[in-house]
Amino acid sequence: MPFTPFHLGPALLFATTLDFPTFLIANVIVDFEPFLVMTYDLDLRYGYPLHGFFHTFLGGALVALILAEGMVVLYSQFGKEVNIKKLRITALSGIWLHIVLDSFLYMDIKPFFPLSWNPFYGLFSGIEVYGFCVVAFVIGALLHIVTKRKWES
């Protein structure tokens, strides 16, 4: 699902107990990889897959740690107290959710790198994955609106 808002659906649905901004970013940040591959023709020039190292649980974990540290810096600029453990769990959860969703759809993803095995590929069709993301977006948005109203009352 490169460059699509579909990952934001599950992010909205599952972010209620996590750090909301971090989780939203985590659900889309690893798509910097396909963006770079397509922009610089890395697949044609060097044979780099569209979904490479950062679409693995190991690579995603590295991105999650960097994201969590970046959010600490960002939040400190606004004087917000942070729980680094919560930010790390949030970033890791969001990125791994992204990897699992993409793993259903793309053969080139190797989530358990260095193993080349993708046990998720083909378990759900594209329609089912995208449908889940749309339904999750609607439910997540409604929950967010209801929760926000409840707190404002």
User: pLDDT tens digits, residue range 87-101?
Assistant: 999 999 999 999 999
Q: What is the pTM of this model?
A: 0.86
Predicted pLDDT of residue 17: 74
For residue 119, the SS3 value is coil
Predicted pLDDT of residue 1: 47
Predicted pLDDT of residue 150: 59
CA-wise closest residue to 30 among 99, 89, 87, 121: 99
d(CA 12, CA 49): 29
Predicted pLDDT of residue 13: 76
Residues of the chain falling short of pLDDT 50: 1
CA-wise closest residue to 11 among 31, 32, 27: 27
